[in-house]
A = this chain, B = another copy of it.
Amino acid sequence: MSDLSFTFQLTHTDGGARRGVMTTPHGTVATPAFMPVGTQGAVKGASHRDLESIGAEILLSNTYHLYLRPGDDLIARRGGLHSFIGWNKPILTDSGGYQVFSLAERRKITEDGARFQSHLDGSSHLLTPEKAADIQAQLGSDIAMVLDECLAHPATLETATASTSRTARWAERARARMLQLRESPVDGVIVTNKGQAQFGIVQGGIFPALREQSAHDTVGIGFEGYAIGGLSVGEPIDVMYETVAHTTPLLPADQPRYLMGTGTPEDLVEAVARGIDLFDCVLPTRNARNGQLFTSEGRLNIKNVRYAEDEGPVDPSCQCYTCRTHSRAYLRHLFAVNEINAATLNTLHNLSFYLDTLSRIRDAIAFGRFESFRLAFHQRLSRQSGGSEPPE
């Protein structure tokens, strides 16, 4: 593992909240961090320089999509994902499992892995723990995720138990493959980032005992970091918070903890309070394209006619290019007439709001005032809930 240049250094703790620095082969990431989602090697509606200008330090990209198009072989021949997409900062890739599981009728799970039909052309593919590791080795992300079984909510204890132990067996196979890839060449696999780290994933649905078992098994295998998967899938929000709170103490304090696929700005604050270091979510980008903007005083729907002549910025507290340059009235016009720039300007704002929230969280932790930040953050949002725009 002499090539492995992945490290994690905790620099501050404040209650359950942690501030740290994650070092990867493509640079450092201040944590807690939010990873904008660049599904197909691009964050929809934001250029790399836009992302850098608002402080993005790490992107997430989706193995399933890149595997199908343009293909991990092509990307490996082009030197890996960083080189292919022209982004020289850290990248985390998921395993592809989440997308495969969402194919419903078009996939079949066995002990070996997940057989699925491409959503593009119906072609048949087999994703195993080893294959997911191989694809990500070819992509050369800085952090690879193990293939896990994504349990639907609700699930019976029986289903959840079987699924969680399969995830553990898959994690062992994924780790074995990763160690093999690090040791010596594997036929047909071009390892494009010799310093790639691998994170395990704790599953177990909403069952505390299963989460405990899964954490125990996953930590026992040993990874460079740990994710909590299977949340934000429809369970009540307090159950999600409780599950996070129950799980993080079971993970090594000196390694990064990643809450997958979450969430709203409120969720981020609450998960940080429970010891989470890394986040990804499509909410800021997807909602931006649908005209829903996040602000320090709540969400606003830019389509609303009430903004037609509103000269104010989306969020008076925001320093992003969109807020510095454009009024709500203009952004509403762009959305109403279906301009591309509605998507790009809204995306820039929403991502900026997310990244700025994380930046303020890190500052608060460093100064030992995370609890007062958290309180003020929620109070400001709840004032808006009493306002004139109905929640969505």
- Which residues of A are interface residues toward B (Cβ below 8 A)? 40-49, 65, 69-70, 74, 77-78, 84-86, 308-309, 311, 321, 325-327, 329-330, 333-334, 336-337, 339-341, 343-345
Q: Do residues B336 and A69 form an inter-chain contact, with CB atoms below 8 A? A: yes
List of B residues within 8 angstroms of A334 by Cβ: 40-42
Q: Do residues A336 and B86 form an inter-chain contact, with CB atoms below 8 A? A: no
Q: Do residues A84 and B329 form an inter-chain contact, with CB atoms below 8 A? A: yes
List of B residues within 8 angstroms of A321 by Cβ: 47, 49
Expressed in whole angstroms, the minimum distance between the Cβ of A361 and any Cβ of chain B is 28
List of B residues within 8 angstroms of A343 by Cβ: 340
Q: Do residues B330 and A47 form an inter-chain contact, with CB atoms below 8 A? A: no
25 A-B residue pairings within 8 Å (CB atoms) = A40-B333, A40-B339, A41-B334, A42-B334, A45-B341, A45-B344, A46-B341, A47-B344, A48-B325, A49-B321, A49-B325, A69-B333, A69-B336, A70-B329, A70-B333, A74-B309, A78-B311, A78-B327, A84-B333, A85-B326, A85-B330, A86-B325, A86-B326, A86-B330, A340-B340
Question: In whole angstroms, what is the CA distance A207 to B334 when docked?
Answer: 41
Q: Do residues A44 and B341 form an inter-chain contact, with CB atoms below 8 A? A: yes
Copies in the complex: 2
Expressed in whole angstroms, the minimum distance between the Cβ of A320 and any Cβ of chain B is 12
Expressed in whole angstroms, the minimum distance between the Cβ of A347 and any Cβ of chain B is 8
| Other contacts beyond A84-B329, A86-B327: 19, CB < 8 A | A40-B333, A40-B337, A42-B339, A43-B341, A45-B341, A47-B321, A47-B341, A47-B345, A48-B325, A49-B321, A69-B333, A69-B337, A70-B308, A74-B309, A78-B327, A78-B329, A86-B326, A86-B330, A340-B344
Question: In whole angstroms, what is the CA distance A309 to B73 when docked?
Answer: 11
List of B residues within 8 angstroms of A42 by Cβ: 334, 339, 341
Q: A41 — nearest CB in chain B belongs to which residue?
A: B333
Question: In whole angstroms, what is the CA distance A17 to B345 when docked?
Answer: 39
Q: A84 — nearest CB in chain B belongs to which residue?
A: B330
List of B residues within 8 angstroms of A86 by Cβ: 325-327, 330
List of B residues within 8 angstroms of A327 by Cβ: 78, 84, 86
Question: In whole angstroms, what is the CA distance A309 to B339 when docked?
Answer: 31
Question: In whole angstroms, what is the CA distance A374 to B60 when docked?
Answer: 47
Q: A343 — nearest CB in chain B belongs to which residue?
A: B340
Question: In whole angstroms, what is the CA distance A85 to B334 when docked?
Answer: 10
List of B residues within 8 angstroms of A43 by Cβ: 341
Q: Do residues A44 and B330 form an inter-chain contact, with CB atoms below 8 A? A: no
List of B residues within 8 angstroms of A341 by Cβ: 42-47
Q: A336 — nearest CB in chain B belongs to which residue?
A: B69
Expressed in whole angstroms, the minimum distance between the Cβ of A330 and any Cβ of chain B is 6
List of B residues within 8 angstroms of A78 by Cβ: 309, 311, 327, 329
Q: Top 3 A-B pairs ranked by shortest CB distance? A: A42-B341, A86-B325, A45-B340
Expressed in whole angstroms, the minimum distance between the Cβ of A264 and any Cβ of chain B is 23
Question: In whole angstroms, what is the CA distance A391 to B325 when docked?
Answer: 41
Expressed in whole angstroms, the minimum distance between the Cβ of A121 and any Cβ of chain B is 13
Q: Do residues B330 and A41 form an inter-chain contact, with CB atoms below 8 A? A: yes
List of B residues within 8 angstroms of A329 by Cβ: 70, 74, 78, 84
List of B residues within 8 angstroms of A40 by Cβ: 333-334, 337, 339
Expressed in whole angstroms, the minimum distance between the Cβ of A132 and any Cβ of chain B is 21
Question: In whole angstroms, what is the CA distance A65 to B308 when docked?
Answer: 16
In this complex, the member of A65, A337, A343 whose beta carbon has the largest number of chain B beta carbons within 10 angstroms is A337
